[in-house]
Amino acid sequence: MKKNKQNKINNPEKYHPKLSEYDPRYQDNGIVSFGEDDFIFLRNNQDIAELVATNKVYTYSTRVFQSISEIPYNKIYRNSFEFLHTDDFEPQHSAFLFLSKKGYVEYERKRTDKTPRKTN
């Protein structure tokens, strides 16, 4: 086994630091928000009533209002950084905020738990 790979096994905290309790990935099931695979699924199935994802912190839902057939995920991901100034910035969540702002989708993220929110 290579030394670097062995270090990752012996020192997992160094390579996988503990998440803050304010991070949406904290105590989740791997779902942070809708990612590229979800966007592609939605783009290929725009006639579904609603797409929903959930973790221990948030429930995400979206529905398509106008065609997203010609929109590549990279475009919405790049544009998500216009929300960088928000306290809870997360690129995948912000990508769907961008789509919503442009009128392509209705998108909602609801907090489902009682963990404390990050304050400045």
* 84: pLDDT strictly greater than 50: yes
Question: What is the torsional sign of CA 26, 28, 30, 33?
Answer: negative
Say which residue the tokens 């304010």 belong to.
22
What are the Cα distances from residue 1, in Å, to 9, 13, 53, 75, 96? Answer: 11, 20, 38, 39, 41
Helix, strand, coil proportions of the chain in percent (round to 5)? 35, 15, 50
Radius of gyration, alpha carbons of the chain = 17
Question: Does pTM top 0.85 for this prediction?
Answer: no
Q: pLDDT tens across 28-42, in order?
A: 455 578 889 999 999
The whole-chain average pLDDT of the chain stands at: 79
pLDDT at 102: 96
- In 3-state terms, what secondary structure has residue 65? coil
* 16: pLDDT strictly greater than 60: no
**pLDDT band, very low/low/confident/very high, at 12 (cuts 50, 70, 90):** very low
E-only strand ranges, 6-99: 51-54, 58-64
Which residues lie closer than 8 Å to 78 by C-beta, 6 or more apart? none
pLDDT at 86: 84
Share of the chain above pLDDT 90, in %: 50
Share of the chain above pLDDT 70, in %: 68
Any idea where the domains of the chain sit in the sequence? 35-113
**pLDDT band, very low/low/confident/very high, at 112 (cuts 50, 70, 90):** confident
- In 3-state terms, what secondary structure has residue 111? strand
Report the pLDDT averaged over residues 86-103: 91
